[in-house]
Amino acid sequence: MAGNILEIIDLDVGYAGGITGLAGLSLKVPAGQMVALLGANGAGKSTTLKAISNLLPFEGGRVRRGTIRFEGRDITNIPAYKLSRMGLIHVREGRRVFSTMTVHENLVAASYALGKRAALDLSRRCDDIYRTFPHLERRKNLLAGYLSGGEQQMLAIGRALVGEPKLMLIDEASLGLAPVIAAEIFKVISRINVERGISVLLVEQNAMLALRHSVHGYVLDNGRSVLDGPARDLLHDPMVIERYLGGAGVPKAAERASA
Amino acid sequence: MALILELCLIGIASGSIYAIGAMGFVLIYKSSGIFNFAMGEMMMIGAYFLYTGMVIFGLSLYAALPLALLASALLAAGMERWLLRPLLGQPHEVMIMVLFGAGAMLRGIAGMVWGHDILRLPEILPRKPVFIGDILIPGTLFWGFLMMIAIFGGFIVYYRFSRTGVAIRATADDQTTAECMGINIRGMFLFTWVMAGLLATAAGIVGASVNGLSPYLGNVALEVIAVVLLAGLTSIGGTLLAGAIVGVMLTLIGFYLGGAFQQFMPYLLVLLVMIVRPRGLFGTKLVERI
């Protein structure tokens, strides 16, 4: 197990009313690496992230069986707010900035993930975020609801960084963004991963974008992993190309990417 | 003319009491989405706690007030922890019914313990009338108003600028995301109940100083809810202006049309607000039908 910051073994998740979310999912995130979860709508990608960060109780779901280990420790029953204080921070789908609060207040709210260190580290952490996202600093006193979609996604990521995560779970970072902006967001995520050594597990509709930036990929179907391998290989896998990369037109782009 | 001005000032002053109660109500609603229909009874019980400390145990104000605040905080925390927490995830109607029930129980208990007569609180606020020019304002109301304004201002500053205030607002904005950012939202629910309990007690004590203390002081909840709806369910700061409007309206109506009209006016105002402008004056979200 050495070297894996996150390990999921044989996980079953059910929702109220007997609906199955995950059925026997296993996966690993090696420390310091970026791993992508792919799959069709309803395959269980977001459910996986919510199971890890323990958000399922908010939606009437729960882990029925299996183990989730973070840094070797079973975290299945630890409340979400404690997990974020342990360094496991979930960037939710749809950006979810606190829209009635200013950009700066969004960062202050996120300092709760620092636990007791917050009082000492808050201004240092905010400065750090503003260095990484100079754009946000210029808008620090603007209500977050007035930011553009791309800026909101930057804020959502920056806000998670306030808490000095060891592992970030990022759900659909490119959703609803123009392709240029989505590419920029992924560059930022890559940079965070490489420069700060923060491990990343991401769920993404845009499989091409995700695989190009990840080391490893899992393809989910019906709540379990049906295929996994190095991202580079998945980009050339005929099944992945056909199902998730939009068929014949795409391999050229894939070759361009790996060239 | 001077008479109308006098009535308006009296209205604004009594409106400030509703405003503080309304602020507690909005605080709970914003953080946890719960309509606290026991808010009026929390005000009433808080005032009885002070009465008990000062009259029954003969303590000074400086000893009795902290004890009354502590007792109200414990009561509010207990209500959150033992009445509402077990219902987390249940439909809101259930919680509303439970809180109605809790309010009725508090009223009944107050009647059993302290009786149904109207009691007088010891003179905390000077009774000596205050003159502004030619206009006379009852002393308790004048000093009570100043206290309410001070509490209102202090709370707004705390809510706007403290880190805890930011956490309360984050919880109000998006509970799940707040939890993801390390904020213990159950802790926040408990905390906002305690804050609301303290605000209710402050408003209850001033209200009882002005109008006397009885188990039916809790009926002021109707005025409070009128203020809440007029301000818009989600506006903490708007409660002050809405409180003044409701206060002035009730005072003028009470003087010119009599007490009978005064009794149902809050209902009428709520009805009008819901028809004309369901968001209230400053609210952002549409009020869910209940």
Q: Where would I find the H helices in A133-206?
A: 134-138, 149-162, 179-196
Which of B47-61, B122-136, B217-231 is modeled with the greatest confidence? B47-61
- Can you give the pLDDT at residue B120? 93
- Can you give the pLDDT at residue A64? 94
- Can you give the pLDDT at residue A248? 44
Whether A148 and chain B come into contact, CB under 8 Å, resolves to no
Residues 74-103, chain B, touching A (beta carbon < 8 A): 89
Residue B278 CA, distance from chain mean position? 21
Residue with tokens 């200013």: A102
Give me the sheet containing A199-203, strands edge to edge: A88-91, A167-171, A199-203, A34-39, A216-221, A224-230
Q: Are A91 and A170 in contact (CB under 8 A)?
A: yes
Q: How confident is the model at residue B285 (pLDDT cuts 50, 70, 90)?
A: low
Q: Which residues of A touch B183 (CB under 8 A)?
A: 81, 109, 112
- Can you give the pLDDT at residue B33? 85
- Tell me the CA end-to-end span of chain B in Å, nearest whole number: 41
User: Any bridge partners for residue A228, and if so which?
Assistant: A218
Q: Do B169 and A101 touch (CB under 8 A)?
A: yes
**B173: nearest CA in chain A?**
A98
Average pLDDT, chain B: 90
pTM recorded for the entire structure: 0.89
Pick B182's closest partner by Cβ from A96, A98, A163: A163
Which residue in B164, B175, B177 has the most chain A C-beta atoms within 10 A of its own C-beta, making it the best mutation to test that interface?
B177
Q: Are A103 and A144 in contact (CB under 8 A)?
A: yes
- Can you give the pLDDT at residue B290? 39
Whether A123 and chain B come into contact, CB under 8 Å, resolves to no
Q: Do A96 and B177 touch (CB under 8 A)?
A: yes
Q: Are B40 and B106 in contact (CB under 8 A)?
A: no
**A159: nearest CA in chain B?**
B181
Q: Which residues of A touch B170 (CB under 8 A)?
A: 98, 101, 105-106, 109
Q: What is the mean predicted confidence (pLDDT) over A213-234?
A: 94
Whether A2 shows a pLDDT value over 60: the answer reads: no
Of residues B184, B142, B135, the one with CA closest to residue B164: B184
A134-144 pLDDT tens trace: 999 999 999 99
Rounded distance between C-alpha atoms, residue A94 and residue B173, angstroms: 14
Whether A26 shows a pLDDT value over 50: the answer reads: yes
Q: β-strand A34-39 against A199-203: which pairing, if any?
A: parallel
Pick A99's closest partner by Cβ from B173, B176, B182: B173
- Can you give the pLDDT at residue B278? 77
Average pLDDT, chain A: 91
- Can you give the pLDDT at residue A255? 46
Least confident of A65-69, A196-200, B82-86: B82-86
Q: How confident is the model at residue A246 (pLDDT cuts 50, 70, 90)?
A: low
Pick B174's closest partner by Cβ from A60, A98, A118: A98
| CA distance to partner chain B, nearest, from residue A158 (Å) | 12
Rounded distance between C-alpha atoms, residue B261 and residue B44, angstroms: 24
Q: Which residues of B touch A91 (CB under 8 A)?
A: 180
- Can you give the pLDDT at residue A247? 54
Helix axes B185-211, B163-173, angle to 10 degrees: 100
Of residues B10, B55, B66, B62, the one with CA closest to residue B247: B10
Residues 209-238, chain B, touching A (beta carbon < 8 A): none
For every residue of B178-205, which 3-state class applies, written as one string? Answer: HHHCCCCHHHHHHHHHHHHHHHHHHHHH
| CA distance to partner chain A, nearest, from residue B289 (Å) | 23
Q: Do A89 and B180 touch (CB under 8 A)?
A: yes
Of residues B46, B24, B23, the one with CA closest to residue B213: B46
Q: Which residues of B touch A159 (CB under 8 A)?
A: 181
Of residues B191, B31, B35, the one with CA closest to residue B103: B35
- Can you give the pLDDT at residue A47? 96
Least confident of A69-73, A121-125, A214-218, B98-102: A121-125
Q: Which residues of A touch B179 (CB under 8 A)?
A: 55, 58, 79-81, 84
User: Any bridge partners for residue A30, and if so which?
Assistant: A4
Whether B134 shows a pLDDT value over 80: the answer reads: yes
| CA distance to partner chain B, nearest, from residue A4 (Å) | 22
- Can you give the pLDDT at residue B118? 94
Of residues A133, A54, A63, the one with CA closest to residue A89: A54
Q: Are B29 and B189 in contact (CB under 8 A)?
A: no
- Can you give the pLDDT at residue B284? 66
Whether A252 shows a pLDDT value over 50: the answer reads: no
Q: Who wins on pLDDT, B191 or A243?
A: B191
Whether B170 and chain A come into contact, CB under 8 Å, resolves to yes
Q: What is the mean predicted confidence (pLDDT) over A17-25?
A: 91
| CA distance to partner chain A, nearest, from residue B180 (Å) | 6
A147-195 pLDDT tens trace: 999 999 999 999 999 999 999 999 999 999 999 999 999 999 999 999 9
Q: Where would I find the H helices in A97-224?
A: 103-110, 118-132, 134-138, 149-162, 179-196, 207-213
Rounded distance between C-alpha atoms, residue A72 and residue A153, angstroms: 30
Q: What are the distances in angstroms from CA B26 to CA B140, B164, B232?
A: 26, 17, 9
Q: Do A81 and B182 touch (CB under 8 A)?
A: yes
**A86: nearest CA in chain B?**
B182
Q: How confident is the model at residue A218 (pLDDT cuts 50, 70, 90)?
A: very high
Of residues B171, B264, B187, B166, the one with CA closest to residue B222: B264
Whether B202 and chain A come into contact, CB under 8 Å, resolves to no
| CA distance to partner chain B, nearest, from residue A59 (Å) | 10
Pick A112's closest partner by Cβ from B169, B172, B183: B183
The proportion of chain B whose per-residue pLDDT surpasses 90, expressed as a percent, equals 67
Whether A118 and chain B come into contact, CB under 8 Å, resolves to yes
